[in-house]
Structure 1
Amino acid sequence: MAQSVLHTAASRGVADHGWLKSFQSFSFSGYYNPERIQFGALRVLNDDIVEGGQGFGKHPHDNMEIISIPLEGELKHQDSMGNAAVIKPGEIQVMSAGTGIYHTEYNNLPQQPAQFLQIWLFPNKRNVTPRYDQISYQQQAVPNQWQQLLSPNPDDAGVWIYQDAWFHKGVFDANTTVPYQLKKAGNGVYVFVIDGSITINGQQLNSRDALGVWDTDAISITTNSKADILLIEVPMTVA
């Protein structure tokens, strides 16, 4: 029988640094909740708002898969691998930190806030050579259908990471039934509502609410309004 855990938007950790406001689905930095450490391989999901011209100074990462999904504005990225890029809504960025990298992330627009989802997953392979990638997915978006943004397979749609994980995103009209079949046995799904209202297994979710579901091979979502949904499938055990 499927099990689930509800994370409402209001129950998230909040950090307000002036230049940064961060809503944290899992324990992060100054926010600690022993019941909210991770969901399987999903370790961090921060809903971040960065003020114009501000950002994260040079800092290190290692042995983590780091994904950024901009929702509003622009982010300027630079790293110790020599990459320099601007990412915008409709794009996804991934870094396999592996043996170690340094990077900076700044709001590229001086007068406008930038909002993005910062997501970390534990890798299934440690100490890899660090790598960076970003793609645009906006042009391939089809209404009322899941669009794959990330997978474990370099030859598959979207970016890829060192983990048996899949990200799908979609914008669905109201009163739509949205099925999802898990890709791998033993995985779970973390459904994050970017905007709108949906129902899963009788549980209503509104904007920025999330529901983790596991011990199942499929889920079905019903939209109560037009809804923008991010679905993260991850292994429930981490080696």
Structure 2
Amino acid sequence: MKTVVHTADSRGYANHGWLKSRHTFSFAGYYDPERVHFGALRVLNDDEVAAGQGFGTHPHDNMEIVSIPLFGDLEHKDSTGRHKVIKQGDVQIMSAGTGIQHSEYNHNADQDVHFLQIWVFPKERGIEPRYEQKSYSAEDRMNKWQTVVSPEGGEALWINQDAYFSLANLDAGETLTYKTNKAGNGVYLFVLNGEVTAAGEKLDTRDAVGVSETDSFEVKAGSYAEVLAIEVPMAFD
């Protein structure tokens, strides 16, 4: 088993006034040659957007982009004609494919929105752009894994990569085993809240551990904890 730990305070940080963003991997003005990606996981941004503010229309191509609101409501428009609001409990995926334009704004004028924006390199390039979102109940991930993104789709959002996103909320003292879905995949475990020990590493809120070269590892909660497991291929074209 191989692990790499990224503590919350080791992330890149940008404060644009209306936007406060913490970058797990190199992004925009933050560059660390040791932290460009974890396998096919390219970006994990922890963003806070001020009331009524947001990202104007901008392009993407050949990237799988997952947005997970943690607090507040995020308004999304894109060139496929979609105009949606994603809320806490929702997960959204956008396959940029051959090219897409989109904007993201705080839907509310009286509170910040806090969300994760995650980019994964695609398995197949040049696909038709697509968009999907679903709501997930926190009750369905109490002390168990709830898969919200997978290449199989179904109850999960479909992703153009052999990648899986799973959420879990653990009571203090509970232990879960994570088993990889695909041989050769690694798992980037990000702690949303609380204290856990994962793959033998002690982690606090917003700490993370990348785990590879194993098909399973344990996650034990030292307090009530909420975690996100991002399973991705470690080798990809």
What is the TM-score of this pair, normalised by structure 1? 0.98
Count of matched residue pairs: 237
2:66 corresponds in structure 1 to 67
SS at match of 1:48: strand
SS at match of 2:9: helix
2:191 corresponds in structure 1 to 193
2:105 corresponds in structure 1 to 106
Contact 1:99–1:128 (8 Å) recurs in 2? yes
2:52 corresponds in structure 1 to 53
Contact 1:150–1:167 (8 Å) recurs in 2? yes
| 1:9-58: CA deviation from partner (whole Å, max 9, x where unpaired) | 00000000000000000000000000000000000000000000000000
Q: CA separation in 2, counterparts of 1:172 and 1:222?
A: 8
What displacement does 1:201 show? 3.1
> Among the aligned pairs, what percent are the same residue?
55
2:158 corresponds in structure 1 to 160
Contact 2:138–2:169 (8 Å) recurs in 1? no
Contact 1:151–1:157 (8 Å) recurs in 2? no
**Structure 1 stretches of 5 or more lacking a match?**
none
SS at match of 1:35: coil
1:137 corresponds in structure 2 to 136
SS at match of 1:118: strand
Q: CA separation in 1, counterparts of 2:168 and 2:229?
A: 9
Contact 1:137–1:158 (8 Å) recurs in 2? no
1:177 corresponds in structure 2 to 175
1:238 corresponds in structure 2 to 236
Contact 1:189–1:214 (8 Å) recurs in 2? yes
Contact 2:188–2:230 (8 Å) recurs in 1? yes
Q: CA separation in 2, counterparts of 1:185 and 1:54?
A: 42
Q: CA separation in 1, counterparts of 2:221 and 2:135?
A: 26
Q: CA separation in 2, counterparts of 1:140 and 1:11?
A: 32
Deviation beyond 4 Å, 4+ runs, structure 1: none
Q: CA separation in 2, counterparts of 1:201 and 1:60?
A: 37
What displacement does 1:139 show? 6.5
Read off the aligned partner of 2:210 and give its amino acid letter.
Answer: G
Read off the aligned partner of 1:24 and give its amino acid letter.
Answer: H
Q: CA separation in 2, counterparts of 1:200 and 1:100?
A: 37
Q: CA separation in 2, counterparts of 1:29 and 1:147?
A: 32
What displacement does 1:140 show? 6.1
SS at match of 2:127: coil
SS at match of 2:44: strand
What is the TM-score of this pair, normalised by structure 2? 0.98
Q: CA separation in 1, counterparts of 2:234 and 2:80?
A: 31
Paired residues for 1:29-44 under 5 Å: 29-44=28-43
SS at match of 1:10: helix
Q: 1:38 to 1:146 in 2, by over 3 A?
A: same
Is 1:207 the equivalent of 2:200?
Answer: no
What displacement does 1:173 show? 0.1
Read off the aligned partner of 1:72 and give its amino acid letter.
Answer: F
SS at match of 1:141: helix
